[in-house]
Amino acid sequence: MLNDPRIARLFELLIDKNIPGIEPVFAPRLDSWVSYPAIEAELGTDADHAALLLEDLSRLGYLSRQFHDKVLFCPACNSQDLKLNTVCPKCRSANLARQRVLEHKNCGYIGTESEFTKSGGRACPKCRVELVLVGSDYVSRGLRHRCLACDAVIESPEENWTCRSCHRVFRKDEVREVVMYSYLLDQAQISKLRVERIPKARVREFLTREGYEIQESIQTTGRSGAEHRIDLLATKRSGPLEHRIVVGFSSAETVVDSEEVIKLYAKAYDVSAQDIIMVASPKLSDDGRQFASHYHIRVYSAEDLDRLYIKLPA
């Protein structure tokens, strides 16, 4: 997947522009509801493909998926302009008052807090016993709704939703819901992408565009009989002629030393490469550059691959 130059370019933009994450927008369509405009524009793809791609990159560990928002919307017109209405399931009235329910421990009477209130204190409306201490004389049973139209005490009133756009009314289970996720760059992967994946993808894209066949991370035998592991081998054939380019990718904490240059030249010479490219991250040492100049090796850092140029055979 990360061999796709468009995806490599996407990561490059996120890293270079220091964009912390990819955020969604609610964009209802025929079969989907979420859009990632920045990704769709950069990759030239549709919303469904962008969403699947972000999921795959998250699964592979390159992105971290985070909860962004939950959207409720009308099943008829997709509007988010909804109003919640609670009604009494017995008489359908919306005239409900939320009240605390108490229980007298001795006689077991259960009623609303207002029923137990008497002259600034509390007394059981059934047996008239004065109640003083919560937990000893009485206990709270939590909040309930009391219908002021039919006087029913309701544990869970019925919920209906009204769409202010199309004025339709729906049951709670009919309202549509979508959870949206944002995707953050995984910090542990950023340096790896900067050093390895993105530069390799850009070099591959350039050479492929120039008509080269690409082999990546291969083991091959040189003229000396030695086995070599080559990061990227590009080959272009024109009749009986063949042009080979060996590309090496090296990284270090501060600078890549000259030993890497010498090893790359030895491999390239042994496999009869006409051109050699080294991508050094973060940069090549001064003596390494001297060796590279002596061996006619083109050296780039991961950041300056925009100036990648090779005089290629016709």
Q: Domain 190-307: which topology?
A: Trna Endonuclease; Chain: A, domain 1 (3.40.1350)
- Joined together, the tokens standing for residue 211 give 């008509």
pLDDT at 309: 62
Query: Rounded to the nearest 5°, which phi and psi values hold at 240?
Result: -80, -5
Query: Would you place residue 272 in the very low, low, confident or very high pLDDT band (cuts 50, 70, 90)?
Result: very high
| CATH class, range 5-77+175-185 | mainly alpha
Count Cβ atoms within 10 A of the Cβ of residue 26 and give its class: 0-12 exposed, 13-18 middle, 19 or more buried.
middle
pLDDT at 17: 65
| Amino acid present at 150 | C
Per-domain residue ranges of the chain: 5-77+175-185, 89-156, 190-307
Task: Return the closest-CA partner of residue 22 out of 181, 254, 258, 213.
Answer: 181
Query: Would you place residue 42 in the very low, low, confident or very high pLDDT band (cuts 50, 70, 90)?
Result: confident
Count Cβ atoms within 10 A of the Cβ of residue 146 and give its class: 0-12 exposed, 13-18 middle, 19 or more buried.
buried
Find where tokens 């042009």 sit. 243
Query: Would you place residue 170 in the very low, low, confident or very high pLDDT band (cuts 50, 70, 90)?
Result: very high
Distance of alpha carbon 140 from alpha carbon 101, whole angstroms: 6
Alpha helices per DSSP H over 44-172: 47-59, 113-116
Asked if 109 and 124 touch (Cβ cutoff 8 Å), the reply is yes
Is the confidence at residue 115, as pLDDT, over 70? yes
For the segment 82-94, the average pLDDT, to the nearest whole number, is 91
Contacts with 235 (C-beta within 8 Å, 6 or more apart), sequence order: 212, 213, 215, 242, 243, 244, 245
Contacts with 181 (C-beta within 8 Å, 6 or more apart), sequence order: 24, 65, 66, 67, 68
- Joined together, the tokens standing for residue 76 give 């008829």
Query: Would you place residue 224 in the very low, low, confident or very high pLDDT band (cuts 50, 70, 90)?
Result: very high
Q: Write down the mean pLDDT value for the chain.
A: 86
pLDDT at 43: 78
Alpha helices per DSSP H over the chain: 5-16, 37-43, 47-59, 113-116, 187-192, 198-209, 258-270, 286-294
Asked if 18 and 3 touch (Cβ cutoff 8 Å), the reply is no
**Fold match, 5-77+175-185 / 190-307:** no
